[in-house]
Amino acid sequence: MKFNILTLFPKYFETFKTQSIIAKAIALGHIEINIIDFRKFSREKHHKVDDTVYGGGDGMLLQVEPIDLALQTVPNSYKILVSPQGRVFNQKIAHELAKHDEITLICGHYEGFDERILNFVDEEMSIGDYILTGGELPAMIITEAIARLKPGVLKKGSHQNESFENEGLLDYPQYTKPADYKGYKVPEVLLSGDHKKILEWRKQEAYKKTLKNRKDIIERINNEN
């Protein structure tokens, strides 16, 4: 799978591409990450990519032309404008996007985008209801969430019991040695060796944790049913 990332700050991605799961996935050929500096597509003096807002207003907007020209170099990709105004990204959407062979993520900066850029993309996408300086961090988050679903990136089945995967619930509590730490003990059922009881306990605990921390997920599941 190929990821194209349009950005004004290519160096942001140097560490991202050379560490942990992403680095291994690239080395094994499971994914490719192509960083595109769309400033290079500016036709203006000094490679300017932003300008003042028509109608007045604070800040500078990214111009449509440099981004359009950069997108023309990746014509066969699914194009996503990273924006706080977009569809909120989640694990279900990660699975949906993982079906594509090539995805392009456009990182914003400054005050925002010229609205006409929406004519050249497939959708806008947000990682949550808050504002960041630019779209680089959201692009990394979206890329990693999708990449780890591709075959070979993780050990087979590794992600299937994680939060949001098992019926949409949060992950169940997990423990490792020692079995007793300062009086805080590992639940007896996990030491029993009875896999049927362990499985049932994990299902119950996943539901309880989700109910405690994310009631909205329980409500959504109930509405869907």
Binding residue positions: 108, 127-132
Q: How far apart are CA 102 and CA 79, in angstroms?
A: 9
DSSP string, 88-106: EP-HHHHHHHTT-SEEEEE
Three-state DSSP state, 190: helix
Residue 85 in contact with residue 61, Cβ under 8 Å? no
Q: Could you give the strand order of the β-sheet that contains 2-7, starting from the edge strand earlier in sequence?
A: 32-37, 2-7, 102-106, 78-88, 123-126
Q: How far apart are CA 147 and CA 164, in angstroms?
A: 16
**Dihedral sign of CA atoms 105, 107, 112, 117 in order:** negative
Q: How many CA atoms lie within 13 A of 39 on its CB side?
A: 12
Binding residues for S-adenosyl-L-methionine: 108, 127-132
Q: How far apart are CA 165 and CA 57, in angstroms?
A: 43
Q: How far apart are CA 109 and CA 86, in angstroms?
A: 15
